[in-house]
């Protein structure tokens, strides 16, 4: 599937309960037929990023048969993320807001796209967005089939066989103690951890080189095919 085969759309959803706009970028196959049922993927950007800056990942997911919703989690009016104090404590409200964004977007898109399966989500998140995905997976495991962490570092991974987890790890950042499952836990729960020696933490977006994008997307495609 080439770039011309991917249709792009954007929505500015409004959550009346929280009085908050939630912008969403959508990626799906332009050849989506009337009888085709697609799987749903929710993509969450890294802190300071945008929901349109991960199109290389989103397009790869479309090629794997996914309808992709990329959420803009931070708005210009939001308070900056705390930088002082234990991250798992001071950043928790930011991740909780991300969880609420994902729940809200899932609810709204289910109404608009009834032929997309939003009951078995694939969550993909970079850095802080990966922390949101991990928290969502822990709080709502019945809604999540798989999670792809692009170098998330703060929120502990689920210790369970469902959802299945793939983590792509950069060469320059390490996760906080207790975040990644131990090798024994990885074997027990089927968690996949892949080291990317030629990729930095801040390379995991559209700014990555073609070789870096190819490596990340090949690992993700292999994980989704299992």
pLDDT tens track for 89-109: 999 999 999 999 999 999 999
pLDDT average, residue stretch 7-11 = 95
For residue 55, the enclosing domain spans 3-225
Percent of the chain with pLDDT over 70: 98
How does the average pLDDT of the chain come out, rounded? 95
Q: What distance in Å separates the CA atoms of residue 156 and residue 136, rounded to the nearest whole number?
A: 11
- Cα dihedral 92, 14, 68, 210 in deg (nearest 10): -70
pLDDT average, residue stretch 198-205 = 98
Detail the DSSP E strand segments found in 37-172: 38-44, 66-71, 116-126, 144-150, 164-169
pLDDT digits (tens, 9 = 90+) for 38-89: 999 999 999 999 999 999 999 999 999 999 999 999 999 999 999 999 999 9
pLDDT of 145 higher than 50: yes
Query: Angle between the 128-139 and 92-112 helix axes, to the nearest 10 degrees?
Result: 70
The CA–CA distances, whole Å, from 15 to 10, 11, 79, 152 equal 16, 12, 19, 27
Q: Which residues contact 130 (CB under 8 A, 6 or more apart)?
A: 44, 46, 149, 150, 151, 152, 153, 155
Model pLDDT, residue 36: 80
pLDDT of 110 higher than 70: yes
pLDDT digits (tens, 9 = 90+) for 181-201: 999 999 999 999 999 999 999
Model pLDDT, residue 133: 98
pLDDT average, residue stretch 137-146 = 97
Place of tokens 């898109």: 109
CATH number at residue 148: 3.40.50.1820
pLDDT average, residue stretch 10-25 = 97
pLDDT of 158 higher than 50: yes
pLDDT of 2 higher than 80: no
pLDDT of 37 higher than 90: no
Q: What distance in Å separates the CA atoms of residue 153 and residue 181, rounded to the nearest whole number?
A: 12
Phi, psi for residue 42 in degrees, rounded to 5 = -115, 125
* Beta strands 192-195; 116-126: pairing state: unpaired
Model pLDDT, residue 27: 97
Task: Give the distance between the most distant pair of CA atoms in the chain.
Answer: 51
- Is the pTM higher than 0.85? yes
Nearest Cα neighbor of 115 from 58, 32, 42, 57 is 32
Domain count, the chain: 1
């Amino acid at each position: 599937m080439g770039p011309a085969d991917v249709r792009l759309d954007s929505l500015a959803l409004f959550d009346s309960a929280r009085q908050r706009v939630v912008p969403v970028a959508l990626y799906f196959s332009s050849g989506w037929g009337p009888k085709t049922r697609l799987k749903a993927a929710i993509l969450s950007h890294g802190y300071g990023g945008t929901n349109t800056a991960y199109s290389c990942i989103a397009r790869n997911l479309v090629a794997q048969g996914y309808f992709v919703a990329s959420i803009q989690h931070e708005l210009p009016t939001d308070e900056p993320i705390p930088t002082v104090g234990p991250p798992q404590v001071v950043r928790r409200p930011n991740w909780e807001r991300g969880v609420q964004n994902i729940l809200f977007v899932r609810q709204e898109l289910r109404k608009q796209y009834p032929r997309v399966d939003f009951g078995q989500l694939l969550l993909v998140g970079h850095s802080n967005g990966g922390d949101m995905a991990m928290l969502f997976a822990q709080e709502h495991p019945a809604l999540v089939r798989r999670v792809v962490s692009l170098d998330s570092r703060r929120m502990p991974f689920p210790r369970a066989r469902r959802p299945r987890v793939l983590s792509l790890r950069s060469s320059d950042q390490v996760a906080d103690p207790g975040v990644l499952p131990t090798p024994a836990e990885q074997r027990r729960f089927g968690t996949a951890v892949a080291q990317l020696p030629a990729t930095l933490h801040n390379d995991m977006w559209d700014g990555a080189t073609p070789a870096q994008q190819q490596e990340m997307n090949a690992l993700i495609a292999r994980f989704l095919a299992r």
